[in-house]
């Protein structure tokens, strides 16, 4: 306490020295100001994403065994995927994998694009036939917070498409809604499932 009091007293006795240092700091601040990098929209690398797989009618256990394990093994073939921070959540009819890229990933956008393209082929070759859609959500400028699945045993694919379009139009009236994407179109007349991503 005594040391603090002595410093304050010394500053008050030598106020010219204090004003000099404050002036030097202000001058250097004004000189540095124009050279500071100012970017209104800075480039931000998003290292987190979500992979969603829709498998209607499957239990959480079936999802875990038949979908989660193969999808995780596929994702781990990418060197930019951080295996320690990537995890999945299985529930009836759906798998959600929270994917994190390594910090030194050179081109995150290219990695997400390769994962997205690869999953489309992987769905056709290695996942069960009942899997309707795979979606990769990596654009968190408009963060995806909801995944809805629409299915019916009585409605045709065209009717479900019309219903999904009407639902999307109603959701767009919500002021905080950012982006709505409809995925999982079935190219057949039998009952099908639609997955609008909100």
36-95 pLDDT per residue, tens = 777 766 666 678 888 989 888 889 898 998 999 999 999 999 888 899 999 998 988 889
Alpha-carbon distance of 53 to 83, in angstroms, equals 19
Rama region for 115: left / alpha / beta (φ>0; ψ in -120 to 50; rest): alpha
Task: Write the pLDDT tens digit of every residue in 17-40.
Answer: 888 888 999 999 888 888 877 776
Q: For the whole prediction, is pTM greater than 0.75?
A: no
pLDDT value at 192 more than 60: no
Give dist(CA 66, CA 58) in Å, integer.
10
Q: Which residue has the tokens 């290695």?
A: 126
So what's the pLDDT on residue 98? Answer: 92
pLDDT at 1: 61
User: Is the model's pLDDT at 126 over the cut of 80?
Assistant: yes
pLDDT computed for residue 38 by the predictor: 72
DSSP character string of 9-74: HHHHHTHHHHHHHHHHHHHHHHHHGGGS---SS------EEEEEEE-TT--HHHIIIIIIHHHHHH
Q: Are 163 and 130 in contact (CB under 8 A)?
A: no
Query: Which tens digit of pLDDT belongs to each residue from 134-170?
Result: 888 876 655 556 777 787 788 888 888 888 889 888 8
Thinking of the domain 42-141, which architecture would CATH place it in? Answer: 2-Layer Sandwich (3.30)
Residue 17 CB coordination number (10 Å): 11
Q: What is the pLDDT of residue 42?
A: 66
Give the pLDDT confidence score for residue 136 in this predicted structure.
85
């Amino acid at each position: 306490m005594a040391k603090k009091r002595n410093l304050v007293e010394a500053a008050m006795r030598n106020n010219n020295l204090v004003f000099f240092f404050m002036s030097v700091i202000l001058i250097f601040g004004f000189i540095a100001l124009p050279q500071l990098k100012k970017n209104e929209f800075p480039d931000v690398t998003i290292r987190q994403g979500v992979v969603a797989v829709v498998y209607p009618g499957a239990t959480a256990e079936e999802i875990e065994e038949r979908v989660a394990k193969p999808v995780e093994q596929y994702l781990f073939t990418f060197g930019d995927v951080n295996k320690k921070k990537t995890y999945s959540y299985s529930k009836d009819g759906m798998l959600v994998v929270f994917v994190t890229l390594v910090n030194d990933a050179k081109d995150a956008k290219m990695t997400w694009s390769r994962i997205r393209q690869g999953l489309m082929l992987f769905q056709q070759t290695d996942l069960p036939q009942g899997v309707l859609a795979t979606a990769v959500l990596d654009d968190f400028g408009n963060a995806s917070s909801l995944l809805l699945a629409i299915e019916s045993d009585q409605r045709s694919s065209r009717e479900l498409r019309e219903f999904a379009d009407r639902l999307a139009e109603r959701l767009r009236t919500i002021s905080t809604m950012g982006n709505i994407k409809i995925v999982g179109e079935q190219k057949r007349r039998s009952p099908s499932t639609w997955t609008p991503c909100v």
